[in-house]
Structure 1
Amino acid sequence: MLVESLAFVLIGLLVTAVALGVLPEYFPAPRGLTAGTAVVAALVSGVIAHYATSGALPAVILAISATGSALLVSVLARPDLVAQRSGAHRSGSPRQGTGRHGVHRRRPA
């Protein structure tokens, strides 16, 4: 179990490196939070997978650990802030005279 625990920590660090290396603008939180989340998620999901499979399938356990870590790190991603920083929005700016969702509103008389 000690060797697997070290493998889970390495998986967490790898998930951190990939997340911060590929999409650094999506993670405005401190880098330590992202790294800590990835490592703890990899450890917890790896231990749960180890006990669920009775340690019989090490490749599956490592894959579950990586998946659990990636899923919890993705919770920290903030793509909405990236759109605000660049000044552009995916759907473009609303048309003149329309409401927030592109629906015309009647003005009270």
Structure 2
Amino acid sequence: MPLLVGAVVFALIGLLAGAAAIFVVPEYFPMARGLTIATALVSALLSGLVAQFTLAGDLPETLAATVLCTGLLTSVLARPDLAARHGSHRRRRHAA
């Protein structure tokens, strides 16, 4: 896979991972949304580049390694301790 095409694919993986983190578990990412997206994007580009050169361009393994590393590096920002303290935003409040 050419480097430019790989960079675009890795960027899409990063953007999708960041968006998924924000929309699936937003209570775990209380900081600015841009930080989560930027972290996912940069981690996908860097891990994709490293995986592409390390695995000698084998496409399925490169994409799998990129997705795995992006998910792991994006999860570093997660704050489940704050989510547990404040409660989920999806929880319904019942009238007393």
TM-score, normalisation: structure 1: 0.75
Deviations 1:26-48 (A, max 9, x none): 00110111001001000111110
SS of residue in 2 equivalent to 1:29: coil
- Does 1 or 2 have the higher relative contact order (CA < 8 Å, sep 6+)? 2
Moved segments of 4+, more than 3 Å: none
1:1-109 equivalence runs, <5 A: 1-55=3-57, 57-86=58-87
* Structure showing greater Rg: 1
CA distance in 1, matches of 2:73, 2:60: 20
Give CA-to-partner distance per residue, 1:17-75, whole Å, 9 cap, x none.
111111001001101110010010001111101111111x1111111111111101101
Gapped runs of 5+ residues in structure 2? 88-96
Distance in 2 (alpha carbons) for counterparts of 1:83 and 1:53: 40
TM-score by length of 2: 0.85
Structure with the higher fraction of residues in helix conformation: 2
Q: For residue 69 of structure 1, what is the amino acid of its counterpart?
A: T
Structure 1's unaligned 5+ residue stretches are 87-109
CA distance in 1, matches of 2:19, 2:38: 12
